[in-house]
Structure 1
């Protein structure tokens, strides 16, 4: 039995239950290991205030969230050092892959966690993983030289076996998915098998989180929420999305040139059983008081219907007082899908608009989506009482300011319940990131990306100051129109 310290390097200053934490905790405990979590979320000298930032730009509705949260005045490095001294972990781990894929900081966890560890230099075995390792395994050691082992791909069972084999280097070095040093050489082991049946992972252990982590602003109120996954994988191959990194790693990347979908999606898309999901929902609500399930599945309605219909039947026969927020391709939705969403207690749907130009989406993003169907189906969702949030991107390579304005005008026509706009982030291993480097929009390695808080673009076509203007004013312009845009620009020094 080993002692494992997990670190959540979250910098947003609001609760996020990164899914890799409860999934890894569950597997590690099932192997007999002891697990603790050091959560960075509420340290004043570490976290930023993403909630206030996105409330000010009208992406979020105002709430009394901050009155309900207590932030620590302790120095985070001293607090972590104290935790390590008291717990004396055998192994420390801080970054992995889950259905968050890149959202809510999962992509940058590896960098931020390393910044913490680098200052402390603990004696424990240092292990980490995630998307950056999966995309560029050999580069990981040059970026994070203190790490002992990296895990590419899904890491729950690999980490548990590694912890079991501590002290036996030959067994550790034979583990699939492992990246390790052999003297001056870097060895990249063959990929581990995908976890084909997510029921193989024991019930995800959310009890490891501090209770205030569950508090979350949602549509003008504060609820108790968790991030959750019913499935893993996506059938689509959008060129900006890190799902393509995982598809390549597991050798399932061949896609249709007509739809942008994988030719063999069943090899990559996996789900829990409806029974298992129902059990977890009951546990989350009845034992932890959770009433909002923030589903992070990349495309909810491509989850196999056996799982979704079984879950709907179980919720009908044994109701759980929770509501779901899901993400899915609304351009592909049908009236039967909406009926199913209502049976599943779905309160809100988030959908990627990305940007208004259908030809740009198809040619540059490999995203085949009908704008007409998007408009029609968002209206249908609203008619059926399901809230809709549009996701939009600004700062893509080759995206012009005129295209940003067109996207604002499209959202003005759509009038969704909520509007999210993100700075484009160049994720290593994606086609769009490679284009961005070639076109000199971005450096080779942009570790400090955050789609909500900052742009890292060097574009001369739409500069950073202009992108910040649109991030700040996107919601205002959607709701009020663009007639006064020059006045807003003058007020912020963009026009004389």
Structure 2
């Protein structure tokens, strides 16, 4: 699909960088580890690829989305079960999503031999660490002259952890659009890289060099993310039971809030303390519109996801510009926002220009708990009012929740269930996600868990962080409490959506025994999926 605008982009001209010939002999392979069939274009790595190409470096990307590694089998089974009550079944997914015929390491080794990279970079999260190190170890063993850079939120906040890994030579601390090309230039020129800002590293003598993070880039002045380097299968993202060719448009980076379960709670302080700039940056609306046209002209898509922690925190002038310009595009779109930004007049206008769905995070149903322990201050009344607005405007949304926090108990979990039940009664076009709280080291609640003895103090790097949809908490709660949490996780949407007369049966379904599993299977058949309040866009 091609669209055109009167707005032009002064940065993207379509011409090759004059440095292309100069640097083309220095090749960078970027590895994007993601769990099985977790699709979606990663803006961070795409932006890094664009920054490297802008400086003339040759870039390839290897992703893991369609490799079903053996260790992921239990997570795949759990996600299939989860999908029966939390998300609409995905239509024709086996015909659209095609798994790779080889295993992950075989294909990576083939690419290494064919591309012959000068440097390998890998983005790492807590729950992809084992997979990532599996690949970096293979690179080290088979291509010992090729150095590996570890980057991402996890290495940024724990660089010392990754420098212990024999397969990793450099750790990128902070965002890499400025520092990564700088490192590549020094390595290409065979210059000493040990003082490169934005990197921790070991030198040839084993000495550790710790440099401060590079200044955070102005997202209005860097090249738009480079999605051309990614496998086209990553565009195939599910939304409300259908798979769309989804482009991601970056609208902002970072967050001004301090939610304790989120990495933003530490990253803002990290950059501020290092003198690296303000973590939260918003792209100018004119630049957002330029980016849409740039990406849509390059890629065939029928859906857009706006990447922003709260997309609707816009001035009236910016909002009006978006509505005016997007009315010429009208590709269905989705975004994440906060309940405080859901206003009736804006929802109506957004729907008119193509908004199909939105995501909002409730996280917990108890106001006091939410404010004290999660640092989220809105009221349940304001949440209900936002849902009423969505009902009035005929707009669907996914409401995300968590359970398994420290300081929580069964009664508090039911505060979340009961609030979601009330919201569902207001608007049955709302869907509800539930996630087990995971204390990633990049969130401030991690230290709370350590202090309470819910995590080991000295072996945090050995924690199996599992998978985003794992029903089992990794916290060291009593075994009976952990079983209770798993039961509530499996039955969360049954409690939310089924009538009160089914409560005794749902309580049976909480149990992980023969009777409980049979009842769970029976009750899941009673979950009905309402038609999208908005017209369903055409799919792949």
Q: TM-score range by the shorter chain?
A: 0.7 to 0.9
Partner of 2:291: 280
Asked if structure 2 preserves the Cα contact closer than 8 Å seen for 1:240 and 1:365, the reply is: yes
Unpaired runs of at least 5, structure 1 = 97-105, 254-265
* Map of 1:23 onto structure 2: 47
Q: Take 2:332 and 2:53, find their aligned partners in 1: how far apart are those partners?
A: 29
Q: Note if contact 2:438-2:465 (Cα within 8 Å) is conserved in structure 1.
A: no
Aligned residue for 1:452, secondary structure, equals coil
* Aligned residue in 2 for 1:119: 138
The answer for the alignment partner of 1:128 in structure 2 is 150
Answer yes or no: is the 8 Å Cα contact 1:457–1:463 preserved in 2.
Answer: no
Residues 58-97 of structure 1: matches in 2 within 5 Å? 58-95=86-123
- RMSD value over aligned CA atoms? 2.7
**Structure-2 change in CA distance of 1:427 and 1:44 (3 Å):** closer
Quote the offset at 1:146 in angstroms: 1.9
* 1:327 aligned counterpart, secondary structure: strand
**Contact 2:52–2:181 (Cα < 8 Å) also in 1:** yes
Corresponding residue for residue 103 of structure 1: none
User: Matched residues in 1 for 2:232 and 2:188: separation?
Assistant: 35
Find 2:377's aligned residue among 368, 388, 408. Answer: 368
d(CA) in 2 for partners of 1:109, 1:201 = 28
Q: Are 1:218 and 2:239 matched, yes or no? A: yes
Q: Which one of the candidate residues 470, 474, 477 is aligned to 1:453?
A: 470
Q: For 1:419-434, what aligned pairs fall within 5 Å after superposition? A: 419-434=432-447
Partner-residue secondary structure (3-state), 1:66: helix
Residue of structure 2 equivalent to 1:291:
302
Map 1:139-154 onto structure 2 (within 5 A).
139-142=161-164, 144-154=165-175
Superposed, which structure 2 residues align to 1:41-56 within 5 Å?
41-45=65-69, 49=76, 52-56=80-84
CA distance in 2, matches of 1:130, 1:149: 12
Partner of 2:490: 472
TM-score, length-scaled by structure 2:
0.80
What pairs with 1:359-438 in structure 2 (closer than 5 Å)? 359-415=368-424, 417-438=430-451
2:325 aligns with 314
Q: Max radius of gyration: which structure?
A: 2
State the distance in 2 between where 1:160 and 1:305 align: 38
Q: Which residue of 2 aligns with 1:231?
A: 252
Distance 2:31 2:436 in 1: 26
TM-score (norm 1): 0.87
Contact 1:274 1:306 in 2 (8 A): no
With over 3 angstroms needed to count, the CA separation of the structure-2 counterparts of 1:7 and 1:227, relative to structure 1, is same
Q: Residue 188 of structure 1 is aligned with which of 204, 210, 227?
A: 210
- The change in CA–CA distance for 1:138 and 1:65 in structure 2 (over 3 A counts) is same
8 A Cα contact 1:331 1:370, kept in partner: no
Question: Which of 354, 359, 365 in structure 2 is aligned with 1:345?
Answer: 354
SS in 1 for 2:433: strand
Deviates more, 1:144-153 or 1:83-92: 144-153
> 1:34 deviation in Å?
0.6
How many Å separate the matches in 2 of 1:174 and 1:26?
24
Q: Deviations over 1:339-364 (max 9, x none)?
A: 56446633222111111111111111
Deviation at 1:119, TM superposition (A): 2.8
Alignment match, 1:263: none
Compute the displacement of 1:171 (Å).
5.0
